[in-house]
Amino acid sequence: MSVSDINKSNNLKIGFIADGVKKFSKSDIFHDSSFALMLATQKLDTRILLAESNTLKIINNKVFATFDEVNVKQEENSHILVKCTTEFPLDDLDIIFARKDPPVNEDFISYVLMLTHVVEGNASKRKPLIINNPFGLLKANEKMYALNFPSLIPPTIVTSRKAEIIDFLSEHVEVVAKPLFDKGGEEVFYIDKGSKTSHTIIEVVTKHESRTVIVQKYIPEIINGDKRIILLNGNPIGSVLRIPRTGEFRANMNKGASVKACTLSKRDLEICETVKPSLQKEGLYFTGIDVIGNFLTEINVTSPTGLQEIQRLSGTHPADEIISWAVNFVK
């Protein structure tokens, strides 16, 4: 169902908790998935409400935030119009897109914990629908959640110990090490057993054994790209292939990766079907999984991106699908 098929007299309140939208650059407004969802919402006769995560607070046991009612358009320097600003409880909303980006730090945890209070206070109701469920966000670390599906992932360890990483490197020759709580390819390192700098890189990524990291066998198929597959309630609704730029192994778009259209293989669909029950159980309704070759590498749950690229490359409208699904959920 498309957004245009929805009854436009619904008068829903749809809120977005997303930081920095007012300051978006031209590249942001043509890339950001939160903005794509806001554009899709605007097709409805409903209020679009936008809050910064640091405005959340609890007063008299209710969670409040300061919301701007906005109109949006894909136009540089005038992409957002604030109509009015109001503080009210999150209970008053029908749908909340919780879209704060990592890093998962003290501020992030505080924001998610306040959202759990909204869920607990409305346990007997279908509203507000929070995408994604904050209890699911607490459980699903984006780097580690894939460990729940051992048959889908490459050889992996999670540790802070240099000696253990060296042993793993000796076995697999080439590995990739990532911090657990960051995003966008930040502080992600390729480590080659034969390199003279391998021990130094391990010390840097673990901060001399003071930080736990995830280390995975390097998947050489990354040169052909990393598939970002968007799942809605566990079902694939679009995908895009992100190809690292020359001399780079990270396929993040903010690291210069190019994008192209792709189709899903039998293995991709098997991965989607395997993770689906867990995502549904945890209320992780809108996710982006990353697949390299035949391996699942990450399950992105905080603020998955790729919607605008998928629309441009495939002609489909995944943001519209997500909004339609959410509206029908709360009816």
The structure tokens listed for 208 are 């001399």
CA distance 290 to 242: 10
The structure tokens listed for 209 are 């054994």
Return the H-helix or E-strand segment holding 14: strand 13-17
Pairing of strands 80-89, 62-72: antiparallel
Amino acid (1-letter code) at residue 250: R
Tell whether the torsion through CA atoms of 5, 133, 214 and 269 is positive or negative. Answer: negative
CA distance 174 to 190: 7
CA distance 296 to 265: 13
Task: State the residue for tokens 């699903």.
Answer: 140
Q: Residues, the chain, total?
A: 331
Residue 72 in 3-state DSSP? strand
CA distance 322 to 249: 31
φ and ψ at residue 323, rounded to 5 degrees = -65, -45
Residue 87: closest CA among 112, 62, 106, 108? 62
Report, as residue numbers or ranges, the catalytic residues: 143, 178, 228, 242, 250, 290, 298, 300
Tell whether the torsion through CA atoms of 82, 88, 93 and 96 is positive or negative. Answer: positive
Distance of CA 102 to the CA centre of its chain: 9
The structure tokens listed for 61 are 């046991």
